[in-house]
Amino acid sequence: MGILYYPIVIVGGGLSGLYAARLLTQTDADFCLLEARERWGGRILSVTDDGFDLGPAWFWPDMQPMMAGLVEELGLSSFPQFADGDVVIERPQQPLQRFAGFGQMASSFRIAGGTGALVTALAKALPQDRLRLGVTVTAASLRDDGVALTTQEGETITAGRVLFALPPRLMEKSIAFTPEPQTRTLWRASATWMAPHAKFLAVYEEPFWRDAGLSGTAQSMVGPMVEIHDASAMAGGAALFGFIGVPADIREKIGESELKAHCLAQFARLFGPKAAKPLATFLKDWSADALTATADDRQGGEHPVPVHQPWFDPAWAGRAAMAGSETAREHPGYLEGALLAAAAGVKALGL
């Protein structure tokens, strides 16, 4: 295969990579965005025409001005997380308890069409000839005039500067650097937010739980799901989702179909027999996704804390910078962090 050159290469087409590409487009900078998956969005994954979210669903406009601004700039609509009605609590060997919800989570907002609508709108506004899916970077070598990137697909791509828009821990595991930066230990220590987790989602004909005065919010100490919410679309499609509390290793042993059956049985316990008859179900285990999680992410799930030391050794300064959400100085790990980190990464490369 031939050798390609771009002044700037962005590695990773999740929210941070897409937003960095948007910033570069606005300054007419020439770049190429490389994404290993055959889709954009990374941890953002919305399914069906309703855009039900198997990855992030919420942003908090009161605290996250960049997300709020971007949603508006892209002409997207947002709506508050549905939380009207009672909350159900499930404890072992006790009858279900039902409490007034007091409009809990009132400040959490969702994007109409799912968070994937944000990804679609961002990707659509970028120069299409500078976007490449299905390209996995496996090595980066520092040269006098830039950085040479090797891909799993057998290409060598040279770049003046590279922005690495992926979780630092994943980068430590999957990309070989020459010279090897001392900061690799820092990358590995940086937990990838939500990578250990799995979400189960069931789609229904109608939000029958609302008719029963339930918000769809539930907490369970029985499982397999520990935290459950209404996931219905703004356009009307009805759904419930839950975060699974069973650790990754056990999830793997149980297997997808058995785990889904347990989740559905739990929905039926909490919301009644109609919950046992969904139109469709989805299970996304992020810990089993090699383009999000590493073996270190199978346990725990510490929240990333802001890191104030450099993410690269001085030898790489001006040639390489980080933009994954985990590298943000505020809101690390969140969607807002991805936007902040992208802006900081672009700046760190002097662009």
Ligand X SMILES: Cc1cc2nc3c(=O)[nH]c(=O)nc-3n(C[C@H](O)[C@H](O)[C@H](O)COP(=O)(O)OP(=O)(O)OC[C@H]3O[C@@H](n4cnc5c(N)ncnc54)[C@H](O)[C@@H]3O)c2cc1C
Taking the CB of residue 10, how many other CB atoms lie within 10 A of it?
31
Question: Among 21, 137, 218, 321, which residue interacts with ligand X (rule: CB under 6 A)?
Answer: 137
Shortest distance, CB of residue 211 to ligand X, whole angstroms?
Answer: 27
- At a CB cut-off of 8 Å and minimum separation 6, what does 303 contact? 191, 193, 333
Residue 231, interface with ligand X (CB under 6 A)?
no
**Residue 278 structure tokens:** 């969904």
Residue 291, interface with ligand X (CB under 6 A)?
yes
**Residue 339 contacts residue 320 (beta carbons within 8 Å):** no
# residues contacting ligand X (CB under 6 A) = 41
Shortest distance, CB of residue 303 to ligand X, whole angstroms?
Answer: 11
Closer CB to ligand X, 88 or 170, in the complex:
170
Shortest distance, CB of residue 261 to ligand X, whole angstroms?
Answer: 21
Question: Among 118, 121, 159, 175, which residue interacts with ligand X (rule: CB under 6 A)?
Answer: 175
Per-residue mark of binding to ligand X, 306-335 (x: CB under 6 A)? ------------------xx-------xxx
Residue 31, interface with ligand X (CB under 6 A)?
no
Give the per-residue SS3 of the chain: CCEEEEEEEEECCEHHHHHHHHHHHHCCCCEEEEECCCCCECCCCEECCCCEECCCCCECCCCCHHHHHHHHHCCCCEEECCCCCEEEEECCCCCCEEEECCCCCCCCEEECCCCHHHHHHHHHCCCHHHEEECCCEEEEEEECCEEEEEECCCCEEEEEEEEECCCHHHHHHHCEEECCCCCHHHHHHCCCCCCCCEEEEEEECCCHHHHCCEEEEEEECCCCEEEEEECCCCCCCEEEEEEECCCHHHHHHHCHHHHHHHHHHHHHHHHCHHHHCCCEEEEEEHHHCCCCCCHHHHCCCCCCCCCCCCCCCHHHCCCEEECCHHHCCCCCCCHHHHHHHHHHHHHHCCC
Residue facing ligand X at closest CB distance: 14
Rounded distance between C-alpha atoms, residue 351 and residue 342, angstroms: 12
Shortest distance, CB of residue 182 to ligand X, whole angstroms?
Answer: 21
Closer CB to ligand X, 113 or 167, in the complex:
167
Closer CB to ligand X, 25 or 93, in the complex:
25
Residue 114, interface with ligand X (CB under 6 A)?
no
Closer CB to ligand X, 286 or 312, in the complex:
286
Closer CB to ligand X, 234 or 291, in the complex:
291
Shortest distance, CB of residue 222 to ligand X, whole angstroms?
Answer: 21
Q: Which region among 49-57, 214-222, 275-283, 296-304 touches ligand X (by CB under 6 A)?
A: 49-57
Q: Which region among 97-105, 159-167, 268-276, 294-302 touches ligand X (by CB under 6 A)?
A: 159-167
Question: Among 88, 148, 194, 344, which residue interacts with ligand X (rule: CB under 6 A)?
Answer: 194
Question: Among 8, 23, 32, 57, which residue interacts with ligand X (rule: CB under 6 A)?
Answer: 57
Rounded distance between C-alpha atoms, residue 169 and residue 346, angstroms: 20
Residue 14, interface with ligand X (CB under 6 A)?
yes
Contacts with ligand X by CB under 6 A lie at 11-17, 34-37, 42-44, 55-59, 136-137, 165-167, 170, 174-175, 193-194, 197, 199, 286, 291-292, 324-325, 333-335, 337-338
